[in-house]
A and B are shown apart, each in its own frame.
Chain A
C-alpha cells in the first residue's frame, strides 16, 4: 500500500495547480439525517478539504460514505449542514454572469419538453446576462461538446451519451466557479464512457474549470482527477487525499498502460475495501 508514496506523486501534479489558490474550502462540514425510525444518522462527520482553482478533485469511497451529501451541499441543494463552506475568488462575477456552482447529475436531467438549445439557455436564466451573451454561450458550449448540429433536436431524439453531453454543456454554459459532477458517466455503457472521459479531459483543458467529481469508479477517478479524496465509510470523513501521478494533458488509454495507473488503482481499491470490510 506504500508502493506509491505521495511525495513522489506530488511532483507529477502540474505545479500550476499545486500552487494555485483555493477556489473553496470546506471546514469541518457535518451533516445528519433523521432516519425513518426517528434515529439521527450522521452522514458526514467533519469534512475539511480545500479545492484548488483549476483542479479536478475526485471523491471516492464505499457507497453510503456521504459522497453525494458533499455534492448536494456544494450544489446548493442542501442547506442543513454544520460547518463552513468558504468560496474564494468569487469576485463581482459570482452569481451575476456566472454561477457559483453548476451540476451535472448522474441521471438524465435534460428537460424533455424543450429543445437542446433551450435546455442550455434555461440553465442561464438565473444569471444577469443579456440575450446576445446567452446566445453566444449556447452556441459556444454546444460546439464544445460536439452537438451544434442538434441545436433544435429534442432530448428524446438523442442517445443517452448525447443527452449527458447536453447536461455537461448546460453546466459549462453557466461558467460556474465550481463544476460539480455526480457520477455523470455511470449510466453510460463502457465504450461510451471511455470516449466521454477523453472528451471531459479535453473540455476541462479548454475551459480551465475547477471540478469536484464524485464517482464510485476508481479507474475513472484516476483517469480524470488531479487529486483523489478517499472517504471513510459512514459517517463520511476524509481518510486520505492522493495526488494522481499524471500530467493534466493525458490520454485515457495511454495512462492505463502505465504501471503507475495499476499501482494507484490497487492502492485505492485496498483503501476502499478496508472501509467496506469494516462495515460488512
Chain B
C-alpha cells in the first residue's frame, strides 16, 4: 500500500463524516447554523494568481523624463507611450512612477491609499546578486523560467523540490490550530491549485458554481432508493487508491456545496457590479461568501482566484491591455464590494504570478520568461500609495539582470511577501519559518505594508 500521511487520515475521517451527513438528505441542512456566530475579528486573504507570467515591466513604468527615456529605448516596440501612462507618486520615493493606462481604477485606489505595490519580488532561496547567480555561488530556485515550476514555487514557497502542500495550506493549518472550525477555511474558485493544499487543511476547490449539486432526484421513493445507493457506493473501499480519492472528492463536493448553499441563502444581493469576466465572476463569488461569514462561522478565510493568458510571447500590447483592464475593473469592484460589506480593514487582496517577463522584447512583439516581478496589495489595512521592495535597475546585463535580456533577479523574496501577509492574518512571528522555509535567510522578515501587524 502506498504511504498515507496524517493528512490523509484526517481527510478520510472528514470525508466519511461528510458522506454520512450527506446520506441524511440532499436538501439544505442545518449544520452551518451550529457554527453561526458573529466573528468580530474576521480576516480574509484573497490571492489573485495571474497565470502565464505577467509582464510587470509594463504594469509599473518609471515616469521621470530620463527614466522613461531609458525604458522606452530598450522596450522599443513594447514601450507604452508616456502620454498614456497614469502617474503615481509612491510616498517614500522621490521619483515618479506610473501605471499602465488600463489601470484607471487601480490608480485611484493607489492615490487614495488603498493599494500598494511590492516591486521586484519573487522566488529566492537567499539574497542573490548577479555575480552570485552567474557563478552559481548561492542556492537558487530549481528550474527558473519554467512555468510549471515557478507557478508551483510561488504557490508553495518550496523552491528546491516538488511540493504538494501550498503556503496557503500551511497558513490554514496554523490558523485552524488557533481558531478551530470544522469547515474548510480555504476556498479556491480557480479549481485545484497547490496553494490551497495543507497538511491538515482541506480546501474547497471549485471551477464554477461552488454550490452545484447533484441533479435528477425528485424525492420519490425510487429516487430516494437510488440516491441512497449513489451515496453508499461512495463509501466502499475497493482497495484501489484512485477510486477512494475520486469518491472522497465527490463526497466532499456534495457536502461543501450544501454547506455553502445554505450559508449563501442567508445573504443579500450585493449592489456592486462586477465585470462579466472569469476573474470578475470569481471575485464576486468571494464577496458573496465573505458576506455570509457569520453563517459560515469562520473567523479566518483564504481565497484563491485566478486569470490566465499572461504568457505574452507575441502581440503583447493588445493582449496585456485587455488583461490589465480586466484586472483593474475586477479588483476595484471587489474593493467596492468589501466596502459595501463594511469590512475594508479586514480583507487584504494580493497578486502573484509565475514570473515577470524579459525587459528586452522578442522578435514577435512579445517577451519571454523572466523572474522577479511587481505585485499589488489592496485593502484598507494596507499602508497604500507606496512601493515596497527596491525597483530594479532597468539595464540589460545590469546589476539586476540575471542574463542579458532583462530578467530581474528579485531583491525581495516571496517568503518575505507571504510572511507579511501571514503575520497580519494572525500567525506568530516565531511560526513564520514553518510556513516560509527560506525566511530565516533574509534579515528583514516582514515588509511593513500591513502596519497593524
A and B associate in one complex: no
